Amino acid sequence: MITRQFGIPVTSPGAILRRERDLGTALGLETAETTQLGGLVPDKIIVELIEDWLRLHGGHGFVFDGFPRTTPQAESLQQILQSHRTPLDLALWLEVSEQTVGDRILSRLQCQSCGFTTSSTSAVFASRPVCPYCDGPLVRRNDDDVTVLRHRLEEFNAKTQPLADFYEKLGALRRIDGNRDREAVFADISRLIEQAA
């Protein structure tokens, strides 16, 4: 939605690694086991992925989805941004209850080609699981189950939660109630991006 509205490219280390896994590359296969169990891929690998991506796409603004996820990643990102002479405009913190997270993940359908995400509770996609943007197949992710979710939440609480303080101190953090529907959440995000521009 951000890319369509603002023309800003969005990337996510998770999406890059899932594509590498589907292509059967060494990196993809190495990291698949970790993510399959809800664990976090080592910081060094994630930071290298982001640096490579920025070299190719980072010219005129960018959004990272699911990065950084740890304090060392956030510190590396600060150095990377400095070397690109690009200040960080915003850190968007989507607050959702564990109940919401669970409900969404267990009904999540994702396009295998472009990463578009929707829910199997949406009748349109439940009966015809085809991506509206690229005609790719909408599938369930094989790491979306209850046990994996519990481990992901533990990782989040231990390693990602501290980033709220990190970005609060930098004055970049904006908290958004993510329990609402996607239009309401996106309206808030749009306003923040426009204000930062």
Binding stretches for Zn ion (CB under 5 A): 111, 113-114, 116, 131, 133-134, 136
Q: Which CB sits closer to Zn ion, 108 or 180?
A: 108
Q: How far is the CB of 9 from Zn ion (least distance, A)?
A: 16
Q: Rounded distance, CA 58 to CA 55, Å?
A: 6
Q: How far is the CB of 113 from Zn ion (least distance, A)?
A: 5
Q: Which CB sits closer to Zn ion, 17 or 163?
A: 17
Q: Which CB sits closer to Zn ion, 9 or 136?
A: 136
Q: Which CB sits closer to Zn ion, 130 or 196?
A: 130
Q: How far is the CB of 139 from Zn ion (least distance, A)?
A: 11
Q: How far is the CB of 16 from Zn ion (least distance, A)?
A: 16
